[in-house]
Structure 1
Amino acid sequence: MTINSTIQNDGAERGTNVEDQVLIQSKYLGKGERNEIQRNDAESQKAMAEAAKKLLQYIGEDPERDGLVRTPDRYAEALLFFTKGYSEDIHEVVNDAIFEVDHQNLVLVKNIEIFSMCEHHMVPFMGKIHIGYIPNNRVLGLSKLARITEIFARRLQVQERLTQQVANAINQVLQPKGVAVVVECVHMCMVMRGIQMTTTCSRIGLLQDDQETREEFYTLLNVRQ
């Protein structure tokens, strides 16, 4: 199967807004997860700051010294921001940004920056995500791909699951003919041991089943930098 490929940009014609909104089910969130988790950040921040103060004591530091007096509060505030994806609603993120188009060419958005936290060590990993999909007469606003990615990245994660969740979410939202997601990240817990980069990939539909389409995606991804 031959599909003409285009790398979409903000100036691309997108057509008319789709009135009927796609029901976004929670199954792509992963086992045991919900689409939205209610949390009280004010209460959480206070409790987390107290816990962080104890951690400083346990590692042999003095949480009352000048450089650390406000560290527990800063740490708690930062951790809540780093994990804000748990309480964000994909329905609100996607909103009405699905557009009908007479377009079935490969859409590829590359080099979206991602920042997440390893669930095993609670230290950062960061890198790039590349998202390609073959529209089924509908496209998603470009900024929404980055926002969907951020919802899943701003959680405690493993890279493999993050990759799969983003692919599943786009597939569920758009119901395209195919989706491919490639994630390239540097994990701080691994860099300290000399491992530099981890790459993961998830493919659905034509981008999994059709070799020519799959090769076209990887050619665009690797050549057109």
Structure 2
Amino acid sequence: MMANHTETAAEASERRARLRGSVDFTMMYVAHDAFNRDLTRLIEAAERGHGFHPSAVTTWQMFSRQLHTHHTAEDTALWPTLHQVAAGNETDILADMEAEHAAIDPRLERIEAAIADRDDTGLLAQLQALGTELSDHMRHEEESALPLLERRLGAAGWEAFTTDIRQRVGGIKGGAQYLPWLLDGAAPAARRAVLKALPPPARLLFRAVWEPRHQRSPRLA
């Protein structure tokens, strides 16, 4: 584990090699990598005393918005569906997922408060704590909750959830923001897999408009 408390994409890829099954969770994995990527950048900026730079604040705002959308979709569309089919100690996994989400939400509020108060010491401490908590949660989810989803809902259940996510990010308009954020720095194989799933017009827009615009935006890189 890195000193900044997040998991690198390379570390995650090596760990996930043991988890491969019949359902392709690439979209979840790429999203988790994007959250770790942004937290790494934010922690490093705060360590350099640049936590309130416009690029850091913009990065935080995008990160927190995407994390809220991601967790809300899980809380309202994934965990309740799994509760209906879970048995025995499988319900403990779902209870853990819900509890971990509930613990992360106040951390986001503390970071918002540190930014508003320009509390550089508090900002760094809260970002580091979030890095540990969120990275631990995402590993737990990948190693316990996603295998449960595979057992109980299969590929059809996963497709239903990813469809819900697409609707929540706002269709084509939301995708124009979400996809460049998601694939910023993504491994080539993950990038190819995500782009392959898009209709050709969306792939063209991504390469010609959405990604260049994202790269020009005031963000940490």
Please give the TM-score of this superposition, normalised by the length of structure 1. Answer: 0.29
Higher RCO (Cα < 8 Å, 6 or more apart): 2
- The structure carrying a bigger strand percent of its residues is 1
- The structure carrying a bigger helix percent of its residues is 2
Tell me which structure has the larger Cα radius of gyration: 1
Please give the TM-score of this superposition, normalised by the length of structure 2. Answer: 0.29
